[in-house]
Structure 1
Amino acid sequence: MTRIAFIGAGNMATALIRGLLNSGHTATSIRATDPYAPSLDAMRALGVAADDNNAAAVAWAEVVVIAVKPQMAREVLTPLAGQFTGKTLISICAGLPCAFFEGVLGDVAVVRAMPNTPALVGLGATGLYATAAVSDAGRGAADALFNAGGVARWVESEALIDAVTAASGSGPAYFFALIEAMIQGATALGLDSDTAKQLVCQTALGAAQMTLSEDASPTELRTRVTSKGGTTAAALERFEDGDFNATIQAGMQAAYARAQELAAQS
């Protein structure tokens, strides 16, 4: 079984490790490092070996997941330069391009990943890009890692990772904002907050599941439940008065532009 080391044992690393364990990956083939004792204790509670020795973890592993804050990456990785030959590095550091890791570490095969926070509940969506140096085995390891906690899709160019960021990386916040507004709207109409939350969240979950499971497009599904002159039509017309579609797309364009700016700063 592939030996996987996590450099950084925060929330996202923990979610990925739980996904691996739930999918049948053995705890003995996973190792984690972190400078903070509580994070190490959490790893050990999962049966995963954990300490603060990054160099030893890299030497042991076949695949190394870099799960530190982007601003800490250079400091953490510089002492490990030259130690990644023959290994696959998977980065979940937002905004750091593959060239950053190649510049700091030298000879390294890099998979750049853009996961999102629903991975914390096993429903993540991750975009993946691999440099030419990544082997089929390295790609397979990345597939297994991120599909264990949701779904993963490969993109053909690294530039498209910024599009992934705009769509799914930042996407949960868009849905949280919509859910928040709908709950506020429901309570303003007289529902208590708990009932409003349950109804709105279940509706969001059901709509997403229908979109994934049926052959019909989102447009067709929307049309099916929108009777001319009915309540749904009244709501959607009001949304369009505020340029709903254009506003959503403008927000995604802003996220995309900001992702490009952050990458340029690295």
Structure 2
Amino acid sequence: MKIAIVGCGNMGMAFAKSFLQYDLVKKENLLLIEKSTERSQALKAEKAGVVVDTIGPRVAEYDLVILSVKPQDFGSVCDALAAVIKPNQVVLSIMAGIPMSQIQQRLNHPLVIRAMPNTPAMLGMGITGFTAAKEVDLTNLRRVENLINATGRSIFLEDEAMLDAVTALSGSGPAYFYYVVKAMVEAGRQMGFDEGVATLLVKQTMLGSFHLINNADKSLDDLIKAVASKGGTTEAALRQFEAGSLADTLVAGIRAAQVRAQELSNG
């Protein structure tokens, strides 16, 4: 398989490196298109693939074209790609807020798949929601799904509108996690720990708790109850969280992210 990636920032390169790691593509069959001179030179030094700075006729030689550019660059990128794209090529977009219909129209090309990954994909531990235009056949869909799974896990969505919810929940989700970690580290500092010790305590707590969620045959409520003894310290903290409507605030924030994603998708 031959793959071209347009835009080689963090997410584009997360995909590229995962494909190479799992031997899903050979370096000589991986085209990296990066307009930044500095970034392009760095990619050439890394020898991660064939590096060019513009979309040209050679893109037509590739089976899959991945669009990993900022939404504001969508128009110019699609105009350049439309001039060279071939009917049998599949386009995978990981651009935020650009619906498939808009990509299809701008490219005059039906074979479009849209995905929303998150930043843990850079470690091969991401989760990606994806959907596909009806013109994409099952063979191509499975092929792209296999590629996406190299960056972690994936979930297929029949309804493209649900990608806005994916954006809000898992796409933006790492930032919410970091926000909570930051607050816990600050609490540790206020209680007398230096930042390094507070960070270690919180990071290891988060890591261990993740594994308990993943491996314990218990609900989240049961896991909370297992820590929160009646009249104890954890219960005191949880009461304070409830008094401040922390859970409701988190839900409201995530729903606000969904609304914003919908606004971007609707132009």
* 1:208 equivalenced with 2:210 (yes/no): yes
Q: Secondary structure at the match of 2:65?
A: strand
The correspondence of residues 1-266 of structure 1 with structure 2, limited to 5 A, is 2-25=1-24, 26-44=26-44, 45-81=46-82, 83-265=85-267
Q: Output the amino acid matched with 1:163.
A: A
Q: Output the amino acid matched with 2:9.
A: G
For structure 1, the residue ranges without an aligned partner over 5 or more in a row are none
Name the stretch that deviates more: 188-197 or 130-139: 130-139
- Residues 240, 54 of structure 1: CA spacing in aligned structure 2 closer, same or farther, 3 A cutoff? same
Question: How far off its partner does 1:236 sit?
Answer: 0.9
User: How far apart, in 2, do the equivalents of 1:56 and 1:38 lie?
Assistant: 23
- Residues 226, 257 of structure 1: CA spacing in aligned structure 2 closer, same or farther, 3 A cutoff? same
User: How far apart, in 1, do the equivalents of 2:154 and 2:101 lie?
Assistant: 22
Question: How far off its partner does 1:118 sit?
Answer: 1.7
Q: Output the amino acid matched with 2:65.
A: V
Q: Secondary structure at the match of 1:120?
A: helix
User: How far apart, in 1, do the equivalents of 2:109 and 2:12 lie?
Assistant: 24
Q: Which digits, 9 at most, give the CA deviation of each residue in 1:50-104, with x for residues without a partner? A: 1124133430110110011111111111132262411111101100000111110
Q: Which runs of 4+ in 1 moved over 4 A?
A: none
User: How far apart, in 2, do the equivalents of 1:40 and 1:145 lie?
Assistant: 23
Q: Output the amino acid matched with 2:8.
A: A
Name the stretch that deviates more: 161-170 or 210-219: 210-219
Name the stretch that deviates more: 9-18 or 77-86: 77-86
Q: Secondary structure at the match of 1:245?
A: helix
- Residues 38, 113 of structure 1: CA spacing in aligned structure 2 closer, same or farther, 3 A cutoff? same
User: How far apart, in 2, do the equivalents of 1:198 and 1:220 lie?
Assistant: 26
Q: Output the amino acid matched with 1:71.
A: Q
User: How far apart, in 1, do the equivalents of 2:86 and 2:98 lie?
Assistant: 18
Q: Secondary structure at the match of 1:151?
A: strand
Question: How far off its partner does 1:46 sit?
Answer: 3.6
Q: Structure 1 length normalisation: TM-score?
A: 0.94
Report if the CA contact (8 A) 1:31-1:57 is conserved. no
Count the aligned residue pairs: 264
Quote the RMSD (CA, aligned, Å).
1.5
Query: Percentage identity across aligned positions?
Result: 37
For structure 2, the residue ranges without an aligned partner over 5 or more in a row are none
User: How far apart, in 1, do the equivalents of 2:124 and 2:58 lie?
Assistant: 26
